[in-house]
Amino acid sequence: VPMGVLSCVKYLMFIFNVLVFAGGTCLVGVGVWVAVDPAGFQDIVAARAVLSAGAWLLLAVGIALSLLGFLGCCGALRRSRPLLLL
């Protein structure tokens, strides 16, 4: 495999992982927003328990995606197979 192809794949993996990290960070932001100020979302979701559970779910998924995206970025830049497999 030519070296240019490996370099391109490395940077494409980095960009993809940055996008995953950014998406996770956005989910964390929305989760915090819903947890702190649920009044704006009560019109959409009638039950308060569902709104609270949804906020915690958004936080959990966002934190997991942010962590995976960050580890993927580190793995892509350092060419670390264990970080990429994680």
In a domain, 61, yes or no: yes
Domain count, the chain: 1
Q: What is the pLDDT of residues 55-76, one digit of tens each?
A: 888 899 999 999 999 888 888 8
In a domain, 60, yes or no: yes
Task: Report the predicted TM-score, pTM, of the whole model to 2 decimal places.
Answer: 0.77
- Alpha-carbon distance of 68 to 55, in angstroms, equals 20
In a domain, 33, yes or no: yes
Residue 30 structural domain: 3-79
* Res. 47 pLDDT band, cuts 50 70 90: low
In a domain, 59, yes or no: yes
Determine the pLDDT at residue 60.
Answer: 93
- How many residues make up the chain in this entry? 86
User: In the structure encoding, which two tokens stand for residue 68, read together?
Assistant: 């995976």
In a domain, 85, yes or no: no
Closest Cα partner for 22 from 33, 14, 10?
A: 14
In a domain, 30, yes or no: yes
Determine the pLDDT at residue 44.
Answer: 66
Determine the pLDDT at residue 20.
Answer: 92
